[in-house]
Structure 1
Amino acid sequence: MSSFQKPDHDELAGTEQPFVAHLLELRDRLVRALIAVAVCFGVLAFYPGPGHLYDLLAAPLVANLPAGTTMIATNVIAPFFVPIKITMLAGFMLALPVVLYQAWAFIAPGLYSHEKRLVMPLVISSTLLFFAGVAFCYFFVFGQVFKFIQSFAPKSITAAPDIEAYLGFVMNMFIAFGAAFEVPVVVVVLARIGIVSVDKLREWRGYFIVVAFVVAAVITPPDIVSQLALAIPMCLLYELGLFAATYFVRHTKAPDDAAD
């Protein structure tokens, strides 16, 4: 008789269906998220329309251009594709709560109750902070930066920015400020998972201030206005993160840790 006999019990029996069920649920969640993005894109494409959305995005720059100056398009298809890209981005941001809810509903069953008390507030706060960073950049930083740059432009030069170049600049700034406003979330996560204590983070406050100004100098345009507009909020948000970390570490402990 051969020594390699088929086992009576298949070790993988019963494991295929749960895995397939998870894949099916993931597919359904992704489809719902995509439908939400598509619906928001369709609504925005109908009203106010891609062209009007781009006009809103370009308003801070146009307001600081010389009278009678408009933006230009050096690419033949740019007047069509650039507004469509803006509409897709706006549709995704409008549908972001639905997208995040689908992600939360997928992972929530695998979390403990104390982990749910940590994850859901972090998801909501990180979303709100990202939107706050984008809004701060659009309503305050852009106007100051463009005004500062135009004040240095020679009188013999007529500024006529390209719409694709402006879109790339705006996207980079939105991502930079949105990510910078996530500082409190990073501080809370570092303290909660035990990588570093809140007291140690307080001791590192001076180092973070230096890092904030270095990061602002690297990822923003070479003007003092945008650098200060990014570095100062990062320092203030670091203090907010220290305050929030103290609360979250105390109220999101596992039951055994809380008993100890």
Structure 2
Amino acid sequence: MNRLQTSIYYLQELKYRLAYAIFGTIFLFSTAYTYKQGLIFIFLPKGLSHFVSTGLTEIFFTYLQICTIFSFSFGLGITLTQLYLFLRPGLYAFEANTIFNLLITAFLFYTCLYIFIFPIIVKMLWELFLTYSQNFTAIDLTFEPRLHDYLTHLQQLNKALTFSFPCLIALNTVQIYTSKQTWVKYRGIAYIIAFSLAAFITPPDVLSQTLLGVPLIVCYEVQLKFWSLYEEYKKQLLIRQPIKPHKYSNRNKEKS
């Protein structure tokens, strides 16, 4: 009977935790939809005066798309936090501390990523592709950006940045059980796995696969480079470490 009551208690707590996550996501969606125009204005490139809409319901579904992405991105963080609070009483102290530090690291990582790095990447890509549209002089070509297409490209970039942190965690986990020579030897297989994963996640077009596959490869190469620098640092540290006299030699000197 006590076991049944305990199970019912934990199921109720899990239900409440999930309810908090669901209502939190709904609240975020309603807030984002209230300020939908200001939210879109944040992601617009500087110097752009207008966008083009070709469908009757395109603006409405574009608003729904950006509000859904925004609410589910933050709602996933709320869900993971509630899941951690539910599992924390049954975890060991080191497990709870590891998961807590991982959540804090993920929060700081994504905060810095979307505040500092994401606008820079968007600006660079916009200026890069805008030059091709302006330098086309064979015919009278006018560039009319479409709002839905622009936000779709931002969504693909968001996918690539979202999977960067789990990929770094996975690479660090694999690094514990492998060596650097193995990473260098099977580098080509890692590239194939990155593009296969990108093809599985993204829509079936080359641009989406490239936008997700290339950052995965960059994470792999950055991890390998940091690994090499860390090993070089340990070698230099061992070389510069002073040699301590042996304790038995000191005793012999004292006796003499």
Q: TM-score, normalised by structure 1?
A: 0.65
Report what 1:206 is aligned to: 184
Pairs within 5 Å for 1:94-243: 94=74, 97-135=77-115, 138-153=118-133, 154-155=136-137, 156-190=140-174, 196-197=176-177, 200-206=178-184, 211=190, 215=194, 221=207, 231-232=217-218, 234-237=220-223
CA apart distance, 1:230? 6.7
- The structural deviation recorded for 1:53 is 0.8
Percent sequence identity is 17
Aligned to 1:22: 10
Aligned-pair CA distance for 1:96:
5.2
Q: What value does the CA root-mean-square deviation take over the aligned residues?
A: 3.8
Decide which moves more: 165-174 or 37-46.
37-46
Partner residue of 2:250?
none
CA contact (8 A) 2:29 2:68 kept: yes
Q: Contact 1:185 / 1:241 at 8 angstroms: preserved in 2?
A: no
Structure 2 unaligned segments of length 5 or more: list them. Answer: 231-256
User: Do the aligned partners of 1:36 and 1:95 also contact (CA within 8 Å) in 2?
Assistant: yes
C-alpha distance 179-169 of structure 1, shift in aligned 2 (>3 A): same
Map of 1:52 onto structure 2 = 38
CA separation in 2, counterparts of 1:89 and 1:29?
Answer: 22
Distance in 2 (CA, whole Å) between partners of 1:209 and 1:32 is 43
Q: CA deviation at 1:169?
A: 1.8
- 1:252 aligned partner: none
2:51 touches 2:144 (CA, 8 Å); kept in 1?
A: yes
Name the residue aligned to 2:24: 36
Larger RCO, structures 1/2 (Cα 8 Å, 6+ apart): 1
1:141 and 1:175 mapped to 2: Cα distance? 13
Q: Cα deviations across residues 43-82 of structure 1 (Å, max 9, x unaligned)?
A: 4444xx101211222x23x64x6xx5x3222221221231
* Whole-angstrom CA distance in 2 between matches of 1:16 and 1:113: 27
Letter in 1 for 2:168: P
How many matched pairs?
217
User: Equivalent residue for 1:90?
Assistant: 70
Instruction: State the distance in 1 between where 2:126 and 2:217 align.
Output: 18
CA distance in 1, matches of 2:106, 2:227: 12
Choose 1 or 2 for highest CA Rg: 2
1:100, 1:226 → 2: CA distance? 24
1:35 Cα shift?
2.4
